[in-house]
Amino acid sequence: MKIGVLSETYPGERRVALIPALTASYAKLGYEVLVQAGAGAGAYHPDEAYSSAGARVLPTREAVLHEASVVLAVRTAGANPNFEADLPHVREGQVWIGMMEPLYRPQGVAQLAARGATAFAMELIPRITRAQSMDALSSMATVAGYKAVLLAAHLAPSMFPLLMSAAGTVSPARVFVIGAGVAGLQAMATAKRLGAAVAGYDVRPATREQVESVGAKFIEIPLEVAQAETAGGYARALEEETLRRQQDLLGEHLVQHEVVITTAAVPGKRAPVLIPQRVVEAMTPGSVIVDLAAEWGGNCELTQPGETIQHNGVTIMGAVNLPATAPIDASMLYSRNLYHLMAHLHKVGMLPEPNPAIEDEIARETLTAHGGKIVHPRVVQSVG
């Protein structure tokens, strides 16, 4: 079996799916590693590092795709708008593993299925104890939450920490983080370390303890929500009337903070709009909103993905793909997530020849396409 690692073609993507240090680990599993020339450049891994580690560096993308039995990617299928350029080179029986946006943009998985390829989507790793080392969403959310705070601090016209000087005392910035998932908790912890007064909110009341554990104040909103989260621990989409009530109640707190970081997302659906235009216009001029849900429509009504705009004196950043802005550490974390998944699939007999009949929760939940069709029920439903 040959593993192929390609240069990423998503705009601004600097991560790589395999760092040189893990080449030997794949060799122990019996795989030869093929790397497209320049694939690791964005993460500061030169071709020579891959060659020294035992990988074979090939000059072109087509050469890698021609030989590889398994293709490892950061963003592919629906997660990469440039994916169609690879489609003519996808072979029947070839295995693709990476971020694919299978629930939000399932067309990419459908295209892989149509070519007869087998696809495993990293976003569908089940949140169970034995799959924690494979959980790429959590790894990348950690990076995104950290970077979001640094960007907010850069955009904010005031400083984060409490400072005392002969000229007077600088009050700490008031930071409000919406969403207490991995990204939100990391954002709260980072803002706290920078000296800000941090508050956090999540529709799931059970997150109070987690919010307080990182030093933030949990904002409690009197909102009756039945089944606020799914079995996998993700937030569930709210009914329209409940969402409007949530907007109004959140707005009362948002206008009291200078920095707002939003991380609320619902798998496979548009991100909920939690900050309508009327709330933005009530915020203090100079306030900053960093919207980590921008790629899925945004938590702020005015968010423009990939753009930083101003409205009524409020700066709104539509943050997209923040893990790519920390490519060294993000690549290391993601590469390890991929390796642990590959090692597991190899162990349970899903590789080198994929077998959908294997009764393993991790394999079953991540397998999205095989044998010319989409095989994951949730992805089938998303395709419609």
Alpha-carbon distance of 80 to 72, in angstroms, equals 14
Q: 366: closest CA among 357, 376, 358, 374?
A: 376
Given the residues 7, 133, 138, 158, the one annotated as active site: 138
Q: What per-residue string of b and e applies to 201-213 under the rule 16 or more CB within 10 Å gives b?
A: bbbbeebbebbee
Mark whether 104 is an active-site residue: no
What is the phi/psi pair of residue 3, to 5°? -100, 130
Annotated catalytic residue: which of 56, 127, 204, 236? Answer: 127
CA dist list (Å): 183 to 109, 140, 195? 26, 8, 19
Helices (H), the chain: 23-28, 47-53, 61-67, 107-114, 136-155, 182-193, 208-213, 240-254, 277-280, 327-348, 361-366, 377-383
Kindly tell me the sign of the dihedral angle through the C-alpha atoms of 304, 310, 313, 316: positive
Known catalytic residue at 132: yes
φ/ψ of 117, rounded to 5, equals: -85, 160
State yes or no: is 61 an active-site residue: no
- Pick the catalytic residue from 86, 135, 202, 291: 135
User: Catalytic: which of 132, 256, 310, 381?
Assistant: 132
234 belongs to the catalytic site: yes
Catalytic residue among 234, 304, 329, 378: 234
Q: Which residues are catalytic?
A: 127, 132, 135, 138, 234
